[in-house]
Structure formats: structure tokens, C-alpha cells
Structure 1
Amino acid sequence: MDPQDPDPARRLLARNAQRAGLNPIPKGPLIPALLAQAERSVEEVASRTGVSVAVASQHLRNLRAAGMLMTRREAQRVYYRLADESVFEALRAVRSVGERRLAEVERLIRAYLHERDSMRAVSARELLELLREDAAVVLDVRPEEEYRAGHIAGARSVPLERLEEYLCDAPEEIREKQIVAYCRGPYCVFSDEAVRLLTGKGYRASRLLEGFPEWRAAGLPVEE
């Protein structure tokens, strides 16, 4: 793990992977965690992890041989996805062990995510209740391609870098309802940054405690 890597999610995933005896790509997220958001081609995985196509392809083949991934072919490209939800559950179990047992993980969480203590957060069940009452607007602040691959039912795609632009022409209900932002998972800071921006502009905003993969794994309503 690169001690200078500023991305908390990437550092935490790498440290947890080492704990589990896995071999994360240097300076890149653990591949199954990346694929928990959406299926990816070999080229996309290489681009997002900062390694060569050959290295990414080898990692993907190894994970497929281990039964963790499945593939589909489209023309000359091969796309990889998690084999099933049990793979994500295994990732979550590794993460949980790291959070409980590794002092460095605890230190990184405190260093990067300490501001969360002052942010309002809602659980999945609380969000469901808000949606039933038509009392919330849900913003998916992940990259748009991840939204297209699957998202919380009724959520609007507003990637973090476009949030300020979105607010300039946002419908009036954005002011009237509670905004709940979500992203990739507990270590992702996109929703933290979104809530910080929204509350700074006077909106009532909260973050979802976990991310889309956890929501989907719980069998809650999704759209693709």
C-alpha cells in the first residue's frame, strides 16, 4: 500500500486485502470492489486502476478462475462482473474484519472520515420510509456509467462534479424535501462531499450510511 496515496477508499481496501491474503493492484482499488459498482471491460479496469491492460487482464483471469467473476463478450471486448452477491458479501466480511482488527484501518477512518460525525446519515430502512412518504429526493453522486449499470429505484444521477451545476436549475422540490446522497460504499467520500456542498448552500441533506452495493445486496428496490 502506498502511504502517500490520498484516496482513503483505495488505501483502506488495499490494507484490508492484505489482511485477507489478497493481492490488490498497486495504487488501484481491489478489482472486485470496483466491479461491485458495474461490469467493466479489461480496458476500463486497467484505466481505473492505473495499470497496463496486460496486468489487469491477468488479475481478472485469476479472479475468474477462483470463481469470483463472470464474463460476457461483446465484439472484441470482454466484460467482467461479480459472479453473484456472495462475492460482494465476502468483500464486506473482509472489510468488517479489517475495521475491527487493524489499528491502521481505524486510524485512516479517523483521519479521512472524521467529519462524518457532524453529518446527518440515514439507514436504508429510514430512506425507504422517506421514499414511501414522498419526503426525500435521492441523488446518486457516483459516475454516470455506474448509475446506468444499476441504482436505487427513483434516484437521480448527479455525479459529484456536476452537483453545483445541477443545483442552478434544480426543481423547487429539492428545496422542499430532504436530500439523501449516496455513492459506492462506506469508504467512498463522494456522498460526504455532496452533503457538505448541499448543506453549505442551505439544503437539508443527509448521506446514506452505506452505498449502492450494500443496498442491492439487501434486496432493496433497484433499477437498471
Structure 2
Amino acid sequence: MNKRQLKDLLYEQVARIGKAVASPKRLELIELLAQGEKSVEQLATELSIGIKLASAHLRALREARLVTSRKDGKFVVYRLTGPDVAGLWVALRQVAEEHLLDLRVALDQMVAEPKKLVSLDRQALMDQAQRGEVVVIDVRPQAEFERSHLPYARSMPVQEIASRLSELPRDKAIVAYCRGPFCLFSEEAYELLHSQGYRVHKLLDGVSEWRAAGMPLDTD
């Protein structure tokens, strides 16, 4: 193999990753699996697609060594091959946010009211949470919280908030977060708590963004 052929091979191998993630659904699969392992059925439901199509997308990710799978009874369960895959998703999304106007416009529509967002930086938020000055709630499913979550956060899945309002203090700010900037669970939590008179804000970070920023995470 001459030098030109070797160089072509090197780029070709890296391009396998680009080809694998060149699909909106596969990117969403990576974001979902960054929260913890999930079965094909769970992933298909989350993406609102059929199991056959979900399996095809997962196969493409597996061929690029971005995900791996295991059998759990009659189910096939997938997970990311490493935290660097979640980091790839965060980096790719951040580059897109920086350079694609259409994406920035869409994100602005999701965050139409900047006052909804936490104004503190990550370290300041963690310090206030440690001191009990703010209450951070993780509104993802319980299983995702147990895999990893922000320090000092408490699990309160979005579908449980209405029945657990008594657990939240009314004299402190509430900060809700979910899977990242594209996740709508925290928006649902905000609307519900705001309607009930709570002082509430959203955090756009999820665990992947928190980890990518070099911040610590907790596991249960």
C-alpha cells in the first residue's frame, strides 16, 4: 500500500463515523442512549418509529462501533460504547448551533422566554444546590436518573410532578433539567410548576452536556 492509499484508508475509516451519524434518528438514538441503556422497543417508542426501522438505525450505529448490544431475556438492549460517543453528539450539536442559522432560530422558538432559563453558571448552580438554596429536579425517567445525574438533584419524572407537588418547597427556586437542549420534559415541568405558583427555571444542560463541560456527575 502506497502513502496515498494509506491516507485514503485513514480518512475512509473516520468517514464511517460521519456516515453512521448522518441521520436525524440516529443522532436522537445517541442522545437517548447517552441517558443509559435501552431496549429496541423502548427506543422505537421514544422515536415514534417501528421496531424494524429502529433496529436498522441501531445496526448502522453498531457497524460504526458507536453502540453495542446484549440480550436480556427476549429483549435486545443497546448502550453506547463509551462516554466519548455522547461527547461526539454534544460537540456536533454545538458546532451546528454555532454555524446553522436555522437551528438557532428553532432553538430560540423552544426558549421563547429567556427568563425561563437558569442565569447561574454550572459551578454556581452546583454550589447553591449543595447549600440547599435551590432545588434541582431531574425530570427524566427514574431509570435514567439512576444511571447518572447532576449532583444534589432529586428524581422527579415529569409525569409524577403533579402528584408530588408537596415535596417541593415554595420558598426556594426550582431548577428542572432533562436530556439536553432538545428535550421538552423540562419545558413541561416548567409550565406545570409555573402555573402552580412556583419560582421555577429550566437548565438546558443534560448529563452529556454536564460531563462534556468537565463537571462531576452522581450515580445511585
TM category, shorter: 0.7 to 0.9
The one-letter code sitting in structure 1 at the alignment partner of 2:217 is P
Aligned residue in 2 for 1:198: 193
Contact 1:138 1:179 in 2 (8 A): yes
CA distance 1:132–1:112, shift in 2 (3 Å): closer
Matched residue SS, 2:24: coil
C-alpha deviation, 1:87, in angstroms: 0.8
Q: Which of 147, 150, 153 matches 2:148?
A: 150
TM-score by length of 1: 0.78
The one-letter code sitting in structure 1 at the alignment partner of 2:89 is L
Q: Which of 48, 63, 67 matches 1:50?
A: 48
Aligned residue in 2 for 1:88: 86
Q: Which of 38, 41, 63 matches 1:40?
A: 38
Aligned residue in 1 for 2:208: 213
Distance 1:20 1:44 in 2: 21
TM-score by length of 2: 0.79
Q: Is 1:176 the counterpart of 2:171 in the alignment?
A: yes
C-alpha deviation, 1:29, in angstroms: 6.3
Deviations 1:116-146 (A, max 9, x none): x122403321221013322222211123332
Distance 1:66 1:208 in 2: 32
Aligned residue in 2 for 1:118: 115
Tell me how large the CA RMSD over aligned residues is. 2.5
> Percent of counterpart pairs with the same letter?
36
The number of equivalent residue pairs is 201
The one-letter code sitting in structure 2 at the alignment partner of 1:110 is D
Matched residue SS, 1:86: helix
Larger radius of gyration: 2
Distance 2:92 2:83 in 1: 14
- Which segments of 5 or more consecutive residues in structure 1 lack a partner in the other structure? 1-17
Greater mean deviation of Cα atoms: 34-43 or 193-202: 193-202
Contact 2:40 2:78 in 1 (8 A): yes
CA distance 1:76–1:161, shift in 2 (3 Å): closer
- Which segments of 5 or more consecutive residues in structure 2 lack a partner in the other structure? 1-17
